Amino acid sequence: MSGPFPVEDPAVARLSARPVDPFDRIDAITVRLPFVSPFGTSVHTWTCKEALLLRVESDGVVAWGECVADPDPYYASETTTTALHLVRDFLLPAVEPGLTFGEVEARFRRVRGNGMAKAAVENALLDLAAKREGVPLHALLGAEARPVPSGISIGLQDTVDALLAAVEEAVERGYHRVKMKIMRGRDVDVVRAVRERFPDVRLMVDANGDYAPGDARHLAALDAFDLMMIEQPLSYSDIVRHADLARELATPLCLDESIHDLADALAAVDIGACRIVNVKQGRVGGLLESMRIAAACAPRGIGVWSGGMDETGIGRAVNIHLQTVPGFTLPGDTSETSRYFHEDLVEPPVVLRPDGFIDVPAGPGIGVTVVPERLEKYGVGAVRLR
Ligand code: OSB
Ligand code: MG
């Protein structure tokens, strides 16, 4: 049943009214960072992180925005190349200092979809605003600093032993919940093996849309393993069948790929397609839209957590700041830097405290510093946009 469309969240309204700061130049830089180990999913195996970065300079202040798109369209339709096209030819031309963030967002709405490109611009402008004001990003979002819970996303492994070893390491490190990727033919037996060995771990699975509506009975076998949720079992393009599936399963469903904005989230929640939403700020078009989704889900009793896109330290910091916002109620896909990269672009790296929590950076803006030599080392292309 559809409820009323939510009124604007007060924190979002305040940020929307804020003018965009003046800037002197904007560059796009593409980087490629090798992963410590390949990340396998039902849709693709990634061996490195290619990311499009936006660098904004303003009176000697340097701000950053990382676009979460991959170089390929296997997780989402956007790629690093399409995002550069959209940023250069359609989004940046619509940005003028002095417009409010709300007005910029309204201009961006004329461009359909392409949330990851929009988010990259918004992220950079918000980092600039926070740095020029001398406050951490989470304060700009209206949230109090609080340690955020950790979560790990373990890719498909070649053997069950390798998976058990990865889960064991995660449990020893103190991660608050473990997510494992599943796909057709690598699901029930593998999950059973993990559950038998780790009876108490908070466990969930992510299928990246590998199943079809006819698989409901098969997926119901997962109900035996006390999973927190099943993430995106069916296609990214099919919210309605998730509602049908949800009625067949005891385990809550969570949507990732299907949710591109607040309207998608409300549609999914209203028809019972999910009880939990994975908010990736890039996928939904930025931090303002992420806050709207969290604010709309909280009173509906819908769990929200921040997903990840194996970001470099720039995007990882953004995800950590976002999770201080009320409404982010569950551990997200936020893990230590050392799991992904031998060397990241930024300092300091994300580390887990002994209690498994992650401290939100305290410095201005995103609160991490890009190391120029590493940008040089991992950069594969740069172009001045403004
Ligand atoms: O489906 O959540 C996903 C990474 C890339 C693309 C899609 C997904 C993921 C992850 C990893 O699960 C999240 C992370 O560790 O950043
Ligand atoms: Mg997912």
**What's the pLDDT at 5?**
81
Nearest listed ligand to the Cα of residue 310? 1
Whether residue 7 has pLDDT greater than 90: no
Task: Indicate if 181 belongs to the active site.
Answer: yes
**What's the pLDDT at 47?**
98
Mean pLDDT, residues 349-377:
98
Whether residue 2 has pLDDT greater than 80: no
Instruction: Say how many Å lie between the CA of residue 347 and the centre of ligand 2.
Output: 27
pLDDT classification of 372: cutoffs 50, 70, 90: very high
Nearest listed ligand to the Cα of residue 75? 1
Q: Checking DSSP bridges between strand 276-279 and strand 253-255, what pairing results, if any?
A: parallel
Instruction: Say how many Å lie between the CA of residue 329 and the centre of ligand 1.
Output: 19
Share of the chain above pLDDT 70, in %: 100
Q: What digits encode the pLDDT tens for the residues 152-161? A: 999 999 999 9
**What is the residue with the minimal CA distance to atom 6 of ligand 1?**
309
Mutation pick for ligand 1 pocket among 310, 312, 338, 340 (CB with most ligand atoms within 8 Å):
310
Instruction: Say how many Å lie between the CA of residue 204 and the centre of ligand 1.
Output: 13
Whether 266 is in the pocket of ligand 1, judged by its Cβ within 6 Å, is no
**What's the pLDDT at 16?**
97
Whether 208 is in the pocket of ligand 1, judged by its Cβ within 6 Å, is yes
Mean pLDDT, residues 179-190:
98
Whether residue 4 has pLDDT greater than 80: no
Whether 365 is in the pocket of ligand 1, judged by its Cβ within 6 Å, is no
**What's the pLDDT at 110?**
98
Instruction: Say how many Å lie between the CA of residue 206 and the centre of ligand 1.
Output: 9
Q: Which atom of ligand 1 is nearest to the CA of 339?
A: 15
Phi-psi region at 223: left, alpha or beta (left = phi > 0; alpha = psi -120 to 50)? alpha
Other CB atoms within 10 Å distance of the CB of residue 362? 10
Q: What digits encode the pLDDT tens for the residues 83-129? A: 999 999 999 999 999 999 999 999 999 999 999 999 999 999 999 99
Task: Indicate if 131 belongs to the active site.
Answer: no
Contact status, residue 66 vs residue 321, Cβ threshold 8 Å: no
Whether residue 1 has pLDDT greater than 70: no
- Write down the residue that tokens 């970065």 correspond to: 53
Spatial distance between the Cα atoms of 282 and 260, rounded to a whole number of angstroms = 9
Contact status, residue 339 vs residue 152, Cβ threshold 8 Å: yes
3-state secondary structure of 293: helix
Q: What is the mean pLDDT of the chain?
A: 97
Structure tokens at 41: 């999913």
pTM: 0.97
Mean pLDDT, residues 279-300:
98
Instruction: Say how many Å lie between the CA of residue 232 and the centre of ligand 2.
Output: 6
Whether 30 is in the pocket of ligand 1, judged by its Cβ within 6 Å, is no
